[in-house]
Every structure is written in C-alpha cells, then in structure tokens.
Structure 1
C-alpha cells in the first residue's frame, strides 16, 4: 500500500514577499511585487518591469557562510537556498550532524537556467585569456544541479539529491516526483521546489519575442492581467518556492505540523502536435493531464472546489479555462473557484510552479482563497464559461477542501497536482 504524503514545511522567496509571513500577508492583501527596473530601461528593453525579490545583504548572510558567499552571484541559488532552508526549518527538521547524512531525507530542487550572470562573467574572463581567475565556484554555480547541491550540503541529506528542469512546469512536476519517491517508500522526506535566476540576461529572450507587456513601464502593478480582456503578455519574474513533503507516518511520529495532503497528480506532454507547439500547449494533452490527475488522486471531478491555474496573462488564458471546463465537465456557477497569482508577482518561469504551490497551500492554512488582481475587465470568452463569482477580485473567506494546481510549460509539457485539506 502506498504511503500517504503530507506537506510539513513551506518556504518562499518571492517578488512580493520573502518568508512565509510576509508572503502570506502580501497574497491575502493583494500586494504586488512587480516594479520598474531601471537596468532594463538602460538596456532599452521594451518591457522595463519585472517581479524580483528584494534581498538585503544582512538577510543573505544568515543563510551562507563567508566561504559560500565568496564569488557567489547566481541569484537562483541564493533564492533557492533561502526558500529551501526556511521550508526545512518550518518543518521543524534538524540539519544532519557533521559526520552522518540523513539517509531518509532527499532533495529534488529544479531550475530552468542557473548562474546566467556567472556564465557571463566566465565568458568575459575566458575571452580575455584569464581562465585562472574563474575561481573555484564557477562550476557549481552554473551546473543545473547547483541549487540541489548547495541545499544538500547545507542540510546534510543522504537520500536522492537531484534537480529537474521542465521550463514553467518545473516546480509542479518536482512536487509530483518527490511525492512518488515517498509514496513508494524510497524516502521519508523530500525537500522539493524550484528557483529561477533574475536579470536582463534571463528576461531578454522573452522581450525579443514581444510577449511581455510594453505599455505599463510607468504603471507596473497593473501590467500583469491574467484572465483580463486587456491582458498584454506576461511580466517576467524570479525567486524560489520550497515544500517539505513527508510520509504521514513520519510526520505523525515526530508530531510535525501538517499543512495539507498531496493526493497525487499527473505529468504529460502534448508532443508539440495538433494545436501544441514549443510555446503553446496541446489542449488535448492539457485535458488528459487534468483528467489523469483526478483519477490518480482517487477523487471525483465534483470534489475539486478550488483551482490555481497557470494563466499567464496572454491570449491563451481563455483556452486554458476552456480546457479546465472540458476536463472537469464543469462550467458556469458549477465551476470551482479559480485564481492566478501571476497578477501579483509575474511569471517566475521555472520558479512559478513552486511559488504558486506554496501560495495555494497557504490558502488551506488561512481558510481563504486569494483574490485575482487586474481582472475587473474579465475576458468575455472566459465569462461565457465561468460565473464571475468564481473568479474573486479580492481575497475571500472560504475553506478549500480539494485544490488542483497546474502548470503548462514551454516544450508543450504539463503537470497537475491535487492538494487536500488534511483530515487524519
């Protein structure tokens, strides 16, 4: 019999809040983390706004030793270590002692690109024939598994320590991978999450594709408009989210706090066939992913009362709503409550799924559904499918019972995870 899997720790480093308390308050109050970035103006970007965590040296110094900080400029690693360490501490788990790893605990922490600024620095030195000045941390800051390696050493985890990378689907996919390892009895605990670097070298490609909003540089908080008729593209973001997954037996044995239960989920790809492409999801695959997630979780479509969508503030938002409606066979007033958090901190790329999963789970803790910002002008095609009351503009008092969270990424890859309010 498969182990039941619960969430016992949360950590977050987001554009609108660093740490659970600040982030939770920002989500409940609708505080935005999207700001004007002067560097993007200097570089003549069309979109000169972004969601970027505001970190101080004092905060960073609490998580790294002076040796670890030497030459460290991979922002994704910094965000991930903050979120991952906070989640571990929130779960009340100790670090392994100096001699023996914690054989029962592992890490699966994903990323899209990592150490882009470090790559740039290294390329400059190499081109100027100064290879010897690269330093000893260049490799670990630029390898994809650098973030899991940092966290693995800090926490002393001796089970599987690895990374995953599936574009915008990375964080949600990683939760399911960690869930499966625990459910199969191969680990008692898995720290899962994802991170994304920040800065112009990460965001430039999207600006060149002209899929970012260009008319909100003087009004950044209104720029990200998921499900809106005036949505003009996604606002780039960065940061990290982290969750401690644990077997129910282990959590109860040590008296750990339980935020929610992970019932299951599904991962698939549309193969870039049909209406799917490198940048757009295949609708049939999206619907199959949701249907399979429901089936794997042992629930009925009607059990889902809340959805946190991918919903990036592009022309595809209405299609995503249609896919949810078809997959769940629900519409109008029978449609679940649905929200998108990208209106508050933008699209955090590889970190999107994990940050949004942290926010989704916090709704169980707070007995609330966080509001959708910048959607006063609901897209008419969405209004045809969903009753407006199911898309709250502000946070409402409501106790979610079963929540579906999905991410759909570049490369036509999909993931859907089902969370449940924990009942022993």
Structure 2
C-alpha cells in the first residue's frame, strides 16, 4: 500500500509555521540566540544559548490549553493543527476508527516534572497540580493530538531519544501499510531548554560552549565543531494511504517510500565507531523502497555538530552511495535550528519533504572549513537546486541508546 504525505506542520526556532520556518532555512538564518535568564549566575549553567521557539505556544493557544499541557504537548498541538489544516481535512473526512496519532518526545514533560518537584520542596505536596502526571508523561503529546482529532485507531509514542520523531513517522508509515489506519498524524516534539538538561548535556561534553557566538555555534562538518546546540519545537506530518488521499482530491507533497531501523547495541550514548548500524538503516530503507543509490538526490543528515558523530554518519553515507555520492546534495539543517532532540527527525522530515516539493536543498551554515574527511557534496550557505523528475531523499535520525532511523521520501 502506497503512503503519501498530505499535510505539514511545525513550530521551530526559525518560525511559528512551515512557511516561515522554510523561508528562514532558505535564507540561511540561525534561530539560535542567547537565553534571557539568570541560569548562569544562579545555577552556574555553563551554556547560555539555545534554539528557542520563534513563536511561543501561549501566543497561539488559549490560556486553559497552556495550563493543562506541558510545553512539549503545546508545541505538538500547534504543529498538528497546522498539518491537519494543511492536509485539508475536516472532522467528517476521516473515520475516527481509521485515524491514528503517533507523536513522540525524547524526554517528555521535563518542565512539568521539575516544576512539580520545586513545588513539593518549596510549598508542600498538597500544592502539586492534579494534572501533573498527565502533563509530564511522554505520551502526553500524542494523547492530546488523539483527543483533538478523535483519532481512535491508536495513539502511540515511540521513545528513542533523538530518533523519536523519525521513528514516529516510520511507525505511521507502517500503521497505514498494515491496514490499521487510513490517516495518521505523526511527528515529534521537545521542550527541554531547562537548566537541568542543559547542565546534564554540558556535563557529558555534548554541547557547544560558544557562549560568545551562539549563532555560529552549530557547525556540522566544520573542523572546529565542538558539540550540538539544544533546540526546541515540533514537527508533524499527515500521512495517508494514497487511495484515501486521491479519493478526497488531496494535494500530495511526497510519498513515504522506505523505512530502515537498527540498533547499535554498542554504548548508551556513543555511536558505534564504524557506523555499521547507521549504514544498515539507510540500506534497509532503500531496499524497502525498491531503490538504489542512483535514485537518491538529497540527504538531510542527522549531523549534530559533534566532533565524532558527524563523520561517522558522513562515512556511512559515502559507503552507502559509493561514487553516486558525488551527485547527492547533503544538508545539515541543525546548523540553523539547533538540535530538537525528539522533535529533530520530524522537523527534518518536513525539511526533506519541502526540499522534494520545491526541488531545493536547504543550506548548511557556519561551515568555514569543512572536515577534510567529508566526501559528500555539502550545501553551504546558499540553497541549491535538486534535479527534476522522480527523485528520492533520505532523512537520517540517530539517538542515544544506539537508535538508528532512516526514512526515504520520493516525489
């Protein structure tokens, strides 16, 4: 059964919707900035910048909605509403029993959890909000999306760290192919710009510490890269069986052609040094799509800007594509948005789909001296045209725990 993309939604450091986010990406704009808080002085937090949302959820949602949802769920609802509207769907357009929701978060409601603990310590257990557990649980975003759109075929939240959003889309693809649903609202969300996660990531030497140059801190494949930049936001796509989409005359952005998922089984945080699991995920995705390296025109890389991880992935892409890698355009969009953790794979799927739709590969910024090991054509600073005709693109997402997810889209 063919699966297609009919709706896109996001809220990101580059914009409050898909149009502004895509426009910002094509303009090679950074959404990273210095945090306006006292965390460094008050707690000694060593990193003072992040990719914060361009439009806060409270500017879009009602006050009752923001009070009963963790920020991660708020962001998911904003993106899901846009994707639903973009798909041209209405309440009676889909049988609720044939509609699914799969929206993931890598960390869950960290703001709710830690705020509730502060309340216990400072004001006592009786002052904890009754909705604290429904707000902090990692399945809260997908549950709220399911409630919003009456999605009764299933509400799921696969948690695989920074691969969560991509895995959610892959699960949506499989949910339709298995016959469980005709339409699935799927993606990822994260709201973890909080002093504890920042301190924890910094402690493991994962974050860039370029406090004096926040917009230049995320620099995938540059020889001076020193860690990722934390971001926040959500990306959501509406997937449909092709027959369902065509029956209602929906606009189709692209097809989901293949999914590859593997596990490194190597280390709780570090990727397997040879990248075998990452390469295998890409191989499986292409095999499932019935494609070869020659069909691939574009790769949106996981590329977080870490000294070790970037080149493991790059070598894997080269190994997968062989000499055809010379004709493939590589983009690393985290350079502009920061790393949305569980939302990254979903936002980057939106970027990959928009690249196919517009035949434009978005740029990678901040690469002043590319790593000499890089053997794939990196799109730097300025967007580049993709070929016309039927082409495919790969979106990679990898996560702590050794999770590897590769999605293949075609248009």
- 1:286 is the counterpart of 2:278: yes
Partner of 1:50: 50
Partner of 2:383: 395
Quote the RMSD (CA, aligned, Å).
2.0
CA contact (8 A) 2:49 2:211 kept: yes
Give 3-state SS (helix, strand or coil) of 1:330's partner: helix
CA contact (8 A) 2:47 2:198 kept: no
**Residues in 2 aligned to 1:377 and 1:126: alpha-carbon distance in whole angstroms:** 50
CA contact (8 A) 2:7 2:237 kept: yes
CA contact (8 A) 2:57 2:75 kept: no
Residues 116 and 346 of structure 1, relative CA distance in 2, 3 Å threshold = same
- 1:116 is the counterpart of 2:82: no
Residues 57 and 306 of structure 1, relative CA distance in 2, 3 Å threshold = closer
Distance apart, 1:96 and its partner CA:
6.1
CA contact (8 A) 1:96 1:157 kept: no
Distance apart, 1:21 and its partner CA:
1.2
Partner of 1:415: 405
Partner of 1:240: 234
Partner of 1:95: 91
Residues 405 and 332 of structure 1, relative CA distance in 2, 3 Å threshold = closer
**Which stretch shows the higher mean deviation, 188-197 or 129-138?**
129-138
Give 3-state SS (helix, strand or coil) of 1:16's partner: coil
CA contact (8 A) 1:101 1:156 kept: no
CA contact (8 A) 2:32 2:214 kept: yes
Give 3-state SS (helix, strand or coil) of 1:333's partner: helix
**Residues in 1 aligned to 2:151 and 2:280: alpha-carbon distance in whole angstroms:** 35
CA contact (8 A) 1:309 1:405 kept: yes
Distance apart, 1:56 and its partner CA:
4.3
CA contact (8 A) 1:364 1:399 kept: no
Give 3-state SS (helix, strand or coil) of 1:381's partner: coil
**Residues in 1 aligned to 2:330 and 2:381: alpha-carbon distance in whole angstroms:** 11
CA contact (8 A) 1:264 1:418 kept: yes
Structure 1 residue ranges without an equivalent (≥5): none
CA contact (8 A) 2:294 2:324 kept: no
**Which stretch shows the higher mean deviation, 51-60 or 402-411?**
51-60
Give 3-state SS (helix, strand or coil) of 2:373's partner: helix
Residues 133 and 58 of structure 1, relative CA distance in 2, 3 Å threshold = closer
Distance apart, 1:147 and its partner CA:
0.6
Give 3-state SS (helix, strand or coil) of 1:46's partner: coil
**Residues in 2 aligned to 1:58 and 1:131: alpha-carbon distance in whole angstroms:** 27
Give 3-state SS (helix, strand or coil) of 2:118's partner: helix
- Residues 368-424 of structure 1: per-residue CA shift (max 9 Å, x gap): 111111113111111xx23x5x53431123247210111111001100010001xxx
CA contact (8 A) 2:4 2:240 kept: yes
Aligned partner (choices 26, 31, 34) of residue 33 of structure 1: 31
Residues 418 and 203 of structure 1, relative CA distance in 2, 3 Å threshold = same
Partner of 2:74: 78
- 1:321 is the counterpart of 2:318: no
**Residues in 2 aligned to 1:58 and 1:238: alpha-carbon distance in whole angstroms:** 15
Q: 1:221-300 maps to which residues of 2 (within 5 A)?
A: 221-272=215-266, 278-281=269-272, 283-300=275-292
Residues 391 and 281 of structure 1, relative CA distance in 2, 3 Å threshold = farther
Partner of 1:206: 201
Distance apart, 1:213 and its partner CA:
1.5
Distance apart, 1:164 and its partner CA:
1.2
CA contact (8 A) 2:139 2:156 kept: yes
Partner of 2:334: 342
Partner of 2:395: 405
Partner of 1:59: 59
**Residues in 1 aligned to 2:141 and 2:55: alpha-carbon distance in whole angstroms:** 18
CA contact (8 A) 1:211 1:234 kept: yes
Structure 2 residue ranges without an equivalent (≥5): none
**Residues in 1 aligned to 2:92 and 2:155: alpha-carbon distance in whole angstroms:** 14
Q: TM-score, normalised by structure 2?
A: 0.93
Residues 319 and 159 of structure 1, relative CA distance in 2, 3 Å threshold = same
- 1:5 is the counterpart of 2:32: no
